């Protein structure tokens, strides 16, 4: 009798234990902790103006910048500006002409097609972002002449830039004495060609790089009786402002009377916030008066007297 009761008790206990085990609630899963290891590319991270991360190259060596936006179909597009061969080759857009278009997304980056402003076509490059830097890698060279780098890292340009800190690294002690201009091909800059080309498709001068999307040049004009040099600011292919920084001229009527009434301008540019011009007035080679002027360039590209 005792054995039968014990057996019955064990069977009931076993059934009860199994039921309890099956009814035990499963631990809750926090779906918020499930993260996709590959984050989706965000085109907004590419939008804006990018400039070379490595500023060790001098302004006369090579500069490269890209400006990206999204079109109506929400695809990435933009244009670049590449200045190479000591400012003699300017592969840049005028009127914000688009030369970069998105082809497709590719794993961790974007494949784009591009052309140069010298007519080269069918180039391709891969764009990737890492730690705030844009990596530009040309995967297929365009057919024709182009001057963008094959491989470069760029950083996004801040909207607010302190003028002096930006330009101190670009221009140091450029003077009338050490200035050396060269022929610059600028067939896309019609207004500059008309003002300084003297009938040619190239001008003589020097590129001083970009500031707030404004290109800065020293340009020479040898077309008239008295050659001169201007510092010129250009945006979207159009001249914003110009300032005469070097010349040597005299009064022709007085010269016919054997009186040399001469005015000489020379320059010394420490940086774009410190443009110094010395104006000397001479009578028969004797100094009559010397004046010194200081200028800086504003954020919109105008030359302002201090």
Full-prediction pTM beyond 0.75? no
Yes or no: say if 109 and 84 are a contact pair by the CB < 8 Å rule.
no
Is 275 contained in some domain?
yes
Q: Is the pLDDT of residue 143 over 90?
A: yes
Structural domain count of the chain = 2
- Assess whether 268 and 175 both reside in one domain: yes
Decide which of 171 and 209 is more confident.
209
Query: Is residue 240 within 8 Å of residue 234, measured between CB atoms?
Result: yes
For residue 175, give the nearest of 276, 80, 76, 93 by alpha carbon.
Answer: 276
Does one domain contain both 183 and 300?
A: yes
Domain that holds residue 86: 43-157
Least confident window among 113-122, 198-207, 216-225: 198-207
131 pLDDT band (50/70/90 cuts)?
confident
Is 10 a domain residue? no
Q: Which residue, 157, 181, 207, sits at the end of a domain?
A: 157
In this structure, the answer to whether residues 49 and 133 fall within a common structural domain is yes
pLDDT given for residue 207 in this prediction: 86
- First-to-last C-alpha distance (Å) of the chain: 117
**Residues 179 and 292 occupy one common structural domain:** yes
Q: Are residues 178 and 290 in the same domain?
A: yes
Report whether pLDDT(115) > 60.
Answer: yes
Q: Does residue 19 lie in a domain region?
A: no
Q: Say which CATH number the domain at 98 has.
A: 2.40.128
- Say what the pLDDT of residue 188 is: 65
Query: 115, 133, 157 — which closes off a domain?
Result: 157
For residue 160, pLDDT over 60 is answered with no
Residues 97 and 204 in one domain: no
Residue 240 pLDDT more than 80? yes
Instruction: Assign 36 a pLDDT band (cuts: 50, 70, 90).
Output: very low
| Same domain? 110 vs 172 | no
User: Could you tell me if 194 and 241 lie in one domain?
Assistant: yes
- Asked if pLDDT for residue 136 goes beyond 90, the answer is yes
pLDDT tens, residue by residue, 243-275: 999 999 998 899 889 998 999 999 999 888 889
Q: Which residue has the tokens 């002096």?
A: 164
Q: Is residue 38 part of a domain?
A: no
**Domain end marker among 139, 157, 175:** 157
Residue 18's pLDDT is 42
Q: Which two tokens stand for residue 146?
A: 């182009």
**At 174, phi and psi to the nearest 5?**
-90, 120
Answer yes or no: do 51 and 93 share one domain.
Answer: yes
């Amino acid at each position: 009798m005792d054995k039968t009761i014990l057996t019955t008790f064990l069977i009931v206990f076993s059934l009860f234990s199994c039921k309890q085990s099956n009814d035990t609630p499963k631990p809750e899963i926090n779906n918020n902790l499930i993260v996709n290891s590959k984050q989706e590319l965000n085109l907004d991270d590419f939008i804006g103006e990018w400039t070379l991360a490595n500023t060790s190259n001098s302004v006369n060596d090579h500069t490269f910048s890209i400006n990206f936006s999204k079109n109506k179909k929400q695809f990435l597009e933009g244009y670049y500006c590449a200045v190479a061969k000591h400012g003699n080759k300017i592969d840049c857009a005028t009127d914000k002409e688009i030369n970069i278009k998105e082809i497709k997304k590719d794993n961790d980056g974007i494949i784009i097609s591009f052309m140069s402003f010298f007519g080269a076509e069918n180039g391709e490059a891969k764009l990737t972002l890492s730690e705030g830097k844009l990596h530009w890698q040309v995967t297929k060279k365009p057919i024709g002449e182009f001057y963008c780098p094959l491989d470069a890292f760029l950083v996004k340009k801040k909207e607010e830039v302190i003028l002096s800190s930006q330009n101190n690294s670009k221009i140091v002690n450029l003077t009338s004495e050490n200035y050396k201009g060269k022929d610059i091909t600028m067939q896309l800059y019609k207004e500059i060609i008309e003002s300084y080309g003297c009938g040619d498709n190239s001008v003589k001068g020097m590129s001083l790089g970009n500031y707030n999307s404004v290109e800065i040049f020293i340009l020479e004009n040898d077309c008239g009786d008295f050659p001169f040099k201007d510092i010129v600011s250009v945006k979207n292919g159009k001249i914003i402002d110009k300032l005469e920084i070097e010349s040597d001229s005299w009064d022709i009527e007085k010269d016919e009377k054997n009186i040399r009434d001469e005015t000489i301008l020379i320059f010394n540019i420490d940086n774009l916030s410190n443009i110094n011009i010395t104006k000397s007035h001479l009578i028969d080679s004797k100094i009559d008066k010397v004046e010194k002027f200081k200028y800086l360039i504003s954020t919109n590209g105008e030359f302002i007297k201090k």
